[in-house]
């Protein structure tokens, strides 16, 4: 059965790990597509979100988004939005709920997000 909005992305966190959940049903569907297309890279992205979702050393492939995309809202709370480039076009965007140590995946797709084409 495919994951749905609000559900956890894989097993529960252990120790100092972050919980990873889907903010939307579309993000869950996109995650499944990314997993099918680029399993190894998606797994590496999952691990990065689980262990260090806001790395002190940012890279071109893992960084906080800028401008109006830098923050997003989930369940009435505004949070920082980050991006992991999974493939040349595939992206995962997520919101960081620091208080709950939860990563909310709000976008996952195999294609480049149109919102960044401005």
Mean predicted lDDT score pLDDT of the chain: 91
pTM (2 d.p.) = 0.88
What CA–CA distance (Å, rounded) separates 79 from 96? Answer: 6
Q: Is residue 93 part of a domain?
A: yes
Q: Is residue 14 part of a domain?
A: no
Q: Is residue 2 part of a domain?
A: no
The pLDDT score that the predictor gives to residue 28 is: 93
The pLDDT score that the predictor gives to residue 1 is: 54
Q: Is residue 66 part of a domain?
A: yes
Q: What is the pLDDT of residues 28-65, one digit of tens each?
A: 999 999 999 999 999 999 999 999 999 999 999 999 99
Mean pLDDT across 93-113: 93
Is the distance from CB of 21 to CB of 6 less than 8 angstroms? yes
| Nearest one of 113, 111, 8, 93 to 53, comparing CA atoms | 93
Domain count, the chain: 1
Q: Is residue 1 part of a domain?
A: no
The pLDDT score that the predictor gives to residue 6 is: 76
| Nearest one of 96, 67, 75 to 84, comparing CA atoms | 96
Which residue range forms the structural domain that includes residue 87?
19-111
What CA–CA distance (Å, rounded) separates 78 from 81? Answer: 9
């Amino acid at each position: 059965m495919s994951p749905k909005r609000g559900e956890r992305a894989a097993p529960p966190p252990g120790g100092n790990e972050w919980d990873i959940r889907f903010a939307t049903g579309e993000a869950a569907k996109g995650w499944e597509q990314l997993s099918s297309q680029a399993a190894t890279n998606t797994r590496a992205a999952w691990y990065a979100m689980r262990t260090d979702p806001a790395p002190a050393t940012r890279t071109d492939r893992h960084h906080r988004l800028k401008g109006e995309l830098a923050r997003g809202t989930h369940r009435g709370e505004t949070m920082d939005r980050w991006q992991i480039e999974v493939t040349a076009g595939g992206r995962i965007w997520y919101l960081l709920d620091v208080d709950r140590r939860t990563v909310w995946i709000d976008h996952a797709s195999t294609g480049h997000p149109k919102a960044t084409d401005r």
